Amino acid sequence: MSDSNPIDFSAVPDQRGHFGPYGGRFVSETLMDALEELESLYNRLSVDPDFQAEFDRDLAHYVGRPSPLYLAERLTAKVGGAQIYLKREDLNHTGAHKVNNTIGQALLAKHMGKPRVIAETGAGQHGVATATVAARLGLKCQVYMGAEDVQRQSLNVYRMKLLGAEVIPVTSGSKTLKDAMNEAMRDWVTNVDDTFYIIGTVAGPHPYPKLVRDFQCVIGREARQQCLDQTGELPDALVACVGGGSNAIGLFHPFLEDSAVQMYGVEAGGRGIETGQHAAPLCAGLPGVLHGNRTYLMSDDAGQIVETHSVSAGLDYPGVGPEHSWLKDIGRVNYVSITDDEALAAFRELTRIEGIMPALESSHAVAYGMKLAATMRQDQRIVINLSGRGDKDIHTVAGIDGISI
Amino acid sequence: MSRIQQCFENLRSEGRKALIPYVTAGDPDPSMTLPLMHALVEAGANIIELGIPFSDPMADGPVIQQAMERALLHGVSLRQVLEMVRSFREQNQTTPVVLMGYLNPMERMGYETFAREAAEAGVDGVLTVDLPPEEADDVIGFFKQYELDCIFLMSPTTTLNRARRICEQASGYVYYVSLKGVTGSSALNVTDVATKLEGLRTVTDLPIGVGFGIRDGESAAAVGKVADGVVVGSVLVNKIATYANQPQQARDAIVATIRDMRQAMDR
């Protein structure tokens, strides 16, 4: 991109929620009124200092922000290239970046007077983060989760139950995150009067991609300031995993106008892009419409959404937030992929060498970050978003090791 | 005059209301659909809504979700659905056929290609569940160019202002969803529907079809008193699920339901 013709990143999405040709509001008529109401409330509250102060206070005292920016010295030495910094979203209350967004949306639900919240979840991190804020605010909470994910994320399922949420296994379609989102939409259309739908990522109908981004941007704002404080300079590159893409947009967005900062969004390469068994719509998909927005999707020639595969439940999704689709097309962010095996190797590496166990989702970012750092000079710096902790994945990793615990 | 307009004109002059059955194309397998369409007309249907199978039918309840899964197992997608309409038109040139589905299969085919091929196959209207008028500008031009009616949904949450905007884009008829929910939801309240329709009639002269929650002759007749058309879907699709692998029995049960509704509406 040339500096002579800068893109105004603050001008997207436009008033109708479009990021270039992506985004928008593709839902059935019954939801249009609720989305308009949410949009007008959010437009008002997003510039209301009292609301922002309430949000910031919760992030500080309930979530425990700011999260540290940590120089991983042993990992850096092992890789032998750029200095690797980890943005420690895994240290947030509930163990992932997801809570930044659920705190924000729960405040919106409170302002709208909705007594019930629903959510979809893949790995269970968003479900846990939703159940957590629901418990805190005394809201009724139901979480839709693909039946396959209920199996592979049993720890998070029980956490949600302990928090007072009801987890509803979804047995339709591929029984994963996309089907959970379908089912949450069906619930919302039926109970729209008393229910707030807390979407977990920067996808869905306008204004969700925008408001989730805004809530997650705390990651990038902090990382930018921390980097300046610790090193006196901006980082050379940012790396984050992309399923729906909320942790990535949260890290990237506050740096978009820093044109010297390179950005890498890491999709789930599954068993390899060439096998077709992956969850990498930006690397290997085409634009289409699903779950209320136009974005890159994995679908077949007939427009049917295809089943995805990733070892990581949180990345196992055939779509991606519309802003990422736009950032890909304009060339501001590079989208790459990491296979299951590479992610698992990174999971083990970071655990053994830094004593930090990353979520399998975040392990994709760690794996690519290590590859990238190896190609860079030792005086350069990269920031990897460590979006969540790996405790929830211990069963999955043990299973791969042939151990039952 | 479009086939849909003609259909409503004829019914109006006879003092009757349109009976509009929905079936999912290719459910439970592709051989079912064509004979079923003819049987529906024979039993008193005036317009046929043919569902395009989609992998992620967000606005549908379990009955139609499962119908779509059955059809998709046989590889029935948009192109096959257009072929079914083409075959239907070989024997029937008067009964309007409306395709009902989700946007992604149409987007993947390309809107102009879809509109042209649908018109050539003999499709009369298209209802895209996840395409509100705000997003429809690109699409509607092609539908108009190929003289396909654009059927839009309205719901209990649709304000009169929105209804006005929707009706500016709509043609053929509009489809009022009687309740907040997905297809196959339970009881509808006819009094609420009547009140809402009174309001909608102040903003449009288009015929209004009402669907969701219509299960039998009684509910069809009650809705027929206030609407111009009665749309019935899940209760029919449920027969296919009930008589799995028995296409004749499924068809007989569907025909019997439609006959009951027709008689009750014409009484």
Q: Is the pLDDT of residue B189 over 80?
A: yes
pLDDT of residue B157: 94
Domain count of the fold of chain B: 1
Start-to-end CA span in chain B (Å): 29
Task: Quote the domain boundaries for residue B118.
Answer: 3-266
Q: Which of A304, A305, A317 to mutate to test the interface with B (most CBs of B within 10 A)?
A: A304
pLDDT of residue A174: 85
Residues of B acting as catalytic residues: 49, 60
CA A117 to centroid of chain Cα atoms? 19
H helix runs in A311-359, sequence order:
322-329, 340-354
Count of beta carbons in the 10 Å neighbourhood of residue A220: 25
Tell me whether A192 touches chain B (CB under 8 Å).
yes
For the question of an ipTM over 0.90, the answer is yes
Q: Which of B52, B54, B55 to mutate to test the interface with A (most CBs of A within 10 A)?
A: B55
Residue whose entry in the numeric block shows the structure tokens 């060439």: A274
Q: Using one digit for the tens of pLDDT, what is the confidence trace for A227-280? A: 999 999 999 999 999 999 999 999 999 999 999 999 999 999 999 999 999 999
The residues that bridge with A166 in the sheet, in sequence order, are A142
Residues of A acting as catalytic residues: 98, 120, 387
- The CA distance from B263 to the nearest CA of chain A, in Å, is 31
The residues that bridge with B34 in the sheet, in sequence order, are none
Question: Which string of DSSP letters, residue by residue, matches A234-254?
Answer: --SEEEEE-SS-HHHHHHHGG
Contact: B132, A26; criterion CB under 8 Å: yes
Instruction: Tell me how far apart the alpha carbons of residues A136 and A288 are, in angstroms, rounded to a whole number.
Output: 38
Q: Which residues of A touch B109 (CB under 8 A)?
A: 303
Q: Is A2 exposed, middle or buried (0-12, 13-18, 19+ CB in 10 A)?
A: exposed
Q: Is B196 helix (H, G, I), strand (E, B) or coil?
A: helix
Count of beta carbons in the 10 Å neighbourhood of residue B11: 18
Instruction: Tell me how far apart the alpha carbons of residues B26 and A245 are, in angstroms, rounded to a whole number.
Output: 36
Residue whose entry in the numeric block shows the structure tokens 């395409």: B131
Instruction: Tell me how far apart the alpha carbons of residues B222 and B228 are, in angstroms, rounded to a whole number.
Output: 12
Q: Which CATH number do you get for residue B226?
A: 3.20.20.70
Q: Which of B106, B108, B178 to mutate to test the interface with A (most CBs of A within 10 A)?
A: B108
Q: Which residues of B touch A308 (CB under 8 A)?
A: none
Contact: A303, B78; criterion CB under 8 Å: yes
CA distance readout (Å), B29 to A173, A342, B73, B241, B257 = 18, 42, 8, 12, 21
Question: Which string of DSSP letters, residue by residue, matches A238-294?
Answer: EEEE-SS-HHHHHHHGGGTT-TT-EEEEEEEEET-GGGT-SB-HHHH-EEEEETEEE
Residues of B within an 8 Å Cβ radius of A: 53-62, 65, 69, 72, 77-79, 102-109, 129-132, 134-135, 152-159, 162, 166, 177, 180-182, 185
Contact: A16, B58; criterion CB under 8 Å: no
Contact: B157, A30; criterion CB under 8 Å: yes
Q: Which residues of B touch A191 (CB under 8 A)?
A: 180
Please list the pLDDT of chain A residue by residue as tens digits (405 residues). Answer: 444 567 899 899 999 999 999 999 999 999 999 999 999 999 999 999 999 999 999 999 999 999 999 999 999 999 999 999 999 999 999 999 999 999 999 999 999 999 999 999 988 999 999 999 999 999 999 999 999 889 878 889 999 999 999 999 999 888 889 999 999 999 999 999 999 999 999 999 999 999 999 999 999 999 999 999 999 999 999 999 999 999 999 999 999 999 999 999 999 999 999 999 999 999 999 999 999 999 999 999 999 999 999 999 899 999 999 999 999 999 999 999 999 999 999 999 999 999 999 999 999 999 999 999 999 999 999 999 999 999 999 989 999 999 988
Taken in order B109, B110, B114, B116, is the CA torsion positive or negative? negative
Q: Which residues of B touch A173 (CB under 8 A)?
A: 55-56, 69
CB-based contact A136:A163 (threshold 8 Å)? no
Contact: B77, A302; criterion CB under 8 Å: yes
pTM for the structure as a whole:
0.96
Instruction: Check residue A299 and report its DSSP letter.
Output: B
**Residue A190 token pair:** 């039926």
Size of interface A-B (CB pairs under 8 A): 124
- Least CB-CB distance to A32: which of B104, B132, B182? B132
